[in-house]
Each structure stands twice: as structure tokens, then as C-alpha cells.
Amino acid sequence: MITLYTHPQSRGRIAHWMLEETGEPYQTVWLDYATSMRAPDYLRINPMGKVPTIVHDEVVITETAAIVTYLADRFPAASLIPAAGSGQRGTFYRWLFFAAGPLEQAVTARSQKWTVTPEQEGMVGFGTYERTLATLETALKPGPYICGQQFTAADVYVGSQLHWGMLFGTIGKKPLFEDYVARLHDRPASQRANTLNEAYLMQQADPGKAD
């Protein structure tokens, strides 16, 4: 059994979606930012006091990109990662970690209004926000997925980053991005994970509606 530690208003939704894609059994432990996420029991699992975290076979995996990669590799029957040794495996790694590195840095810098001067562009991992987004466009144009015809865990991660970025205005809406995200959200696993998270939020807002 896999245990997912999460919060419905966090990157834990990415891990939740990925678990639904695997079809493997798991249990969910919902945490609260101010209390249980800072409790000693959880800090022994993840000293950062952040979510998501999964525990599987007594192995602790944190960092969302690592979680989706681990699950894809651990459960190959779900076909969520290109075959080992294939060129597409390299493409998978490239864009998954591009989203976890340059894209996340670029979006964070923009949202926090951090100024990167032309002299500093060579020292930061993303160079410029505009170049980062333009680069991602080149990856998505061939379609329909980031690795071509095969939907993978990289789409779970990249698609989530784009969805939240456009939702909160840190990534500009473009037809290419919107079509890609809509395609991903049509997947039953994405819809199941979203329903579970929204149901928990509703329950917390109105405990009387709990089953």
C-alpha cells in the first residue's frame, strides 16, 4: 500500500493525479499546514514539513517531480514512462526536469517580482521568463503530449504547472497551453483526483456534509 500525505490546496494534487493514473491502491493522509504538517510525527517523515510525500515499501519519496518519476518507473504496467533506453526516455527526463527547474524558477521570479538583469541571466537557471515559456512552446507544438504520442508522468507534472500558472496569472494564456491542459484534464484519472480533493475541501468547509 502506498501512503500519500497531502493537502488539497498544494502540489499534492499532482501526486494524487499520478496515483490515480497508476491504478495502484493507496491511502490518503490529509494534513493541515498549521498543525499536522508541523507535527513531530510528520517531520520525522519529511523534515521540510511540506507536501506531497509518499511512503511505499518503507521508502520515503518527497519532491513532486521525484514522486511522479518514481511511480512511473515502479509501476511500468501503467505505461506512464517511455521504455528504458529509448530516445523518448531522454525526452521524458528533459521536459519533466525543465518544468521542475527553469519553468518553476521563472514563474516564481515573475510572481515575486524579482528582477533579473541582463548580466544575471547567465547565472540563473532559466535565463529569462520569456525564453523559458518560448522553449516550452517548442516542446508542446508537435503534440499531443510532451513525449509525442504517449501520455506520461511528465504530462502530469508539466500540465499541472501550466494549469496553475494560467489560473493564477503567472503564465500567460495561449491556445497551445490551454488546449494541452484541457486534453489532460479530460483524462478520467485527473477528474477522479480532482473530485477527491474538492470533496475533502467541501467536507472541511461543512463537516455536516461528510459521508
Cell readout for 174 is 495561449
Residue 41: which CATH number?
3.40.30.10
Residues 117 and 173 in one domain: yes
CATH number where 142 lies: 1.20.1050.10
| Residue position matching grid coordinates 511511480 | 71
Same domain, 143 and 201: no
Residues 6+ apart with CB under 8 A from 79: 150
Percent of the chain with pLDDT over 70: 98
Residues 6+ apart with CB under 8 A from 59: none
Residues 125, 179 within the same domain: yes
Which pairs count as long-range contacts for 83-90, CB under 8 Å and 24+ apart, including other chains? 88/147, 88/148, 88/150
Give the mean model confidence (pLDDT) for residues 127-153: 96
pLDDT in tens, 13-28: 999 999 999 999 999 9
Q: Considering only CA atoms, which of 104, 87, 91, 174 is closest in space to residue 137?
A: 174
Is the CB of residue 51 less than 8 Å from the CB of residue 39?
no
Co-location of 70 and 107 in the same domain? no
Examine the domain organization and report whether 114 and 205 are in the same domain.
no
Q: Between the CA of residue 72 and those of 51, 64, 68, 101, 154, what are the distances in Å? A: 19, 12, 6, 20, 9
Domain count, the chain: 2
Strand (E) positions, the chain? 2-6, 26-30, 53-56, 59-62
| Co-location of 183 and 195 in the same domain | no
Do 15 and 60 belong to one domain?
A: yes
146 and 198 fall within a common domain: no
Q: What is the pLDDT of residue 205?
A: 83
CB 63 within 8 A of CB 50: no
Clarify whether residues 119 and 66 are in a common domain.
no
Give the whole-angstrom CA distance, residue 84 versus residue 141: 24
Query: Are 62 and 74 found together in one domain?
Result: yes
Domain ranges, residue 100: 87-187
Is pLDDT of 79 > 90? yes
Residues 122 and 58 in one domain: no
The pLDDT value given to residue 209: 58
pLDDT of residue 208: 66
DSSP string covering 159-197 = HHHHHHHHHHTSS---HHHHHHHHHHHTSHHHHHHHHHH
On whether both 6 and 38 belong to a single domain, the answer is yes
pLDDT digits (tens, 9 = 90+) for 98-122: 999 999 999 999 999 999 999 999 8
Q: Tell me which amino acid residue 91 is.
A: T
